[in-house]
Structure 1
Amino acid sequence: MGVSQEPQSEQTGRPLLYVLSAGRTGTVFMEKLIRRYFPQIDATHEPSPSRYLLMLGNLRNDTGLLKGATRAFARRHQAAQHDRARPHIELNPFLCPVTDLLPHTTRPLHIVHMVRDPGEWAQSMTTFKASSKYRHIIDFVPFAKPFPSPRPPGWRGLSPFEKSLHRWNWCNARIEALAPQAERYAVVRAEDVFSPDADRRAAALTAIFDTLGLEAPSEIDPAIFGQKVNPAPSGHDLRDAQAVRTICGPLARRYGYDL
């Protein structure tokens, strides 16, 4: 994939630090953890106006229109977040539609790729939909949610749960495709971050800190891992194990999920 020449800046050479996911993987929690234990770092979750970048990226992907505008918007957003005086970590599921625009010609790319069991993720995402501010309108706003482009065969007839599974595949495959271009890249499972097993949790956090170039704190309060930072509202149990295996099986097994 070609990358256009970037304007030089005083931050040339400093790594671009991202925590990317399809959403609902604990990234809000990770933002709070980083801010608490690394006060010298700027960390922002879904910084404005990245929702509009998501929508523009979806429009570009679906129609092929506004490619130049999408690239320019993505570059301005990247500069606004990562050309700060202090190091910055962007935790942003909204970037799934524009992952191809993240590599930079003069700055290394460090990516923590957060994943979650696809069945549990699709259940959570289908009931959560969006933050409470947008939850009741998100389904009616064109291009407001990332979906596969092109759509899988039979898309219109799929259940919301099945559509979410395809979205899980698409977002995670796009993030994973950045691995060869990243100086540092790690897949971290949300289940490991929040595991009651201290060793498993520590290994996941070490992978995150190493990828982002952070020195692990000497001690992290284990009580914080039991707190629900951004819970989904209650809803009907939509899980379909066969659909999960059929739609997400190969990719999920690559991330260590036994479906």
Structure 2
Amino acid sequence: MQSCSTTAQDTTNAASSLCADERPFRYVLSAGRTGTVFLEGFLNRQISKVTAVHEPPETRWQMMLANLRNDWGVGDGLLRAIFQRLRQKRESAVGGDYVELNPFLCAMTDLLPLPGRDLRVVHMVRDPATWAHSISSFKASSTFRPIIDLVPFAKPYPTPRPRNWSKLSDYERALWRWNWCNNRILELRDQCTAFTIVRYEDLFNADANKTVSALNGICNTLALSPPDQFDLDSLAKRLNPKPDKGLVADPLAASRICGELAREFGYAY
């Protein structure tokens, strides 16, 4: 671990007075489609001295390398070196508190803990039936959506893959992906200074008290000071809507594939 030293430049910038490796690692992790784009805006607008970043561009190809590592068992040393170097670079570029919201990290959750550094994780979850419907429709951002299914290792997927993987529907494969991503995030729980599970359905809820409770839980877990009053109006607008492809959620398939884990999150399966 690097030593923390104070330079003349540091003294002229109060936001840089805290050495990067004294700050906790702060992550909002999920399988995607759980409101993380909204949370990026919320943290940047409503929490002072915070820089929240959603899916830093280089982590997309790191995820592809992680999928290759997980599938073929090669490239672990290279992935680790690249990941740690670029994570440190992102941290160093931020003077205050850095929060990363990043579903791409599901494929490399084992790289997040670092000896001597606090790790704080908010684990966002969503009902698997509606999540699989959303991710099967959305697939990827508009830039990558036309090619995402054609590029090997371009999205997280289970390793090892379930039997007859190639014969499963997109919806069924999404459900297995839900299981795999959420289990990998849960494996971090005992390595974290703070870890909490927040349900999408509680964050985006008609009951403002549930929403406020979810936001407070996120702030507390990330060791961030919440605002005196939350601006809840911004929750009414979906910032990253899925295209309407006429797909229908399948609760029976969700129960068969994801029921056991979904019940742990409080869903009625």
Give the TM-score of the pair, scaled to structure 1. 0.95
Residue 7 of structure 1 deviates from its aligned partner by 4.6
| Alpha-carbon distance in 2 for matches of 1:160, 1:59 | 21
Deviations 1:222-252, CA, capped at 9 Å, x for gaps:
2111111000000122322211001100111
Q: 1:62 aligns with which of 71, 96, 108?
A: 71
Q: Which one-letter code corresponds to 1:212 in the other structure?
A: L
Q: Which residue of 2 aligns with 1:35?
A: 44
Q: Which residue of 2 aligns with 1:257?
A: 267
Q: Which residue of 1 aligns with 2:220?
A: 210
Q: What aligned pairs does 1:97-112 form with structure 2 within 5 A after superposition? A: 97-112=107-122
Q: What aligned pairs does 1:77-88 form with structure 2 within 5 A after superposition? A: 77-83=86-92, 84-88=94-98
Q: Which residue of 1 aligns with 2:238?
A: 228
Q: Which one-letter code corresponds to 2:71 in the other structure?
A: D
Q: Which one-letter code corresponds to 2:110 in the other structure?
A: D
Residue 48 of structure 1 deviates from its aligned partner by 1.7
Extract structure 1 runs of 4+ deviating beyond 3 A: 6-10
- CA RMSD across the alignment: 1.2
Deviations 1:131-163, CA, capped at 9 Å, x for gaps:
000101000011001000010112111110000
Kept in 2, the 8 Å contact 1:19–1:112? The answer is yes
| Secondary structure of the corresponding residue to residue 43 of structure 1 | strand
Q: Which residue of 1 aligns with 2:83?
A: 74
Unmatched segments (≥5 aa) in structure 1? 1-5
| Alpha-carbon distance in 2 for matches of 1:14, 1:40 | 13
Which structure has the larger Rg?
Answer: 2
Q: Which one-letter code corresponds to 1:48 in the other structure?
A: P
Q: 2:20 aligns with which of 11, 19, 31?
A: 11
Q: Which residue of 2 aligns with 1:3?
A: none
Would you say how many aligned residue pairs link Structure 1 and Structure 2?
A: 254
Identity %: 47
| Alpha-carbon distance in 1 for matches of 2:112, 2:100 | 12
Kept in 1, the 8 Å contact 2:198–2:214? The answer is yes
Q: Which residue of 1 aligns with 2:172?
A: 162
Kept in 2, the 8 Å contact 1:81–1:90? The answer is no
Residue 14 of structure 1 deviates from its aligned partner by 1.6
Kept in 2, the 8 Å contact 1:161–1:238? The answer is no
Kept in 2, the 8 Å contact 1:16–1:82? The answer is no
Kept in 2, the 8 Å contact 1:46–1:94? The answer is yes
Give the TM-score of the pair, scaled to structure 2. 0.92
Deviations 1:198-217, CA, capped at 9 Å, x for gaps:
11111111110100111121
Q: Which residue of 1 aligns with 2:203?
A: 193
| Alpha-carbon distance in 2 for matches of 1:246, 1:38 | 40
| Alpha-carbon distance in 1 for matches of 2:131, 2:123 | 15
| Alpha-carbon distance in 2 for matches of 1:142, 1:257 | 33
Residue 47 of structure 1 deviates from its aligned partner by 0.8
Q: 1:141 aligns with which of 129, 145, 151?
A: 151
Kept in 1, the 8 Å contact 2:22–2:117? The answer is yes
Residue 11 of structure 1 deviates from its aligned partner by 2.4
Q: Which residue of 2 aligns with 1:183?
A: 193
Q: Which residue of 2 aligns with 1:22?
A: 31
Deviations 1:27-47, CA, capped at 9 Å, x for gaps:
000000011112411110001
| Secondary structure of the corresponding residue to residue 196 of structure 2 | strand
| Alpha-carbon distance in 2 for matches of 1:121, 1:77 | 30
| Secondary structure of the corresponding residue to residue 114 of structure 1 | strand
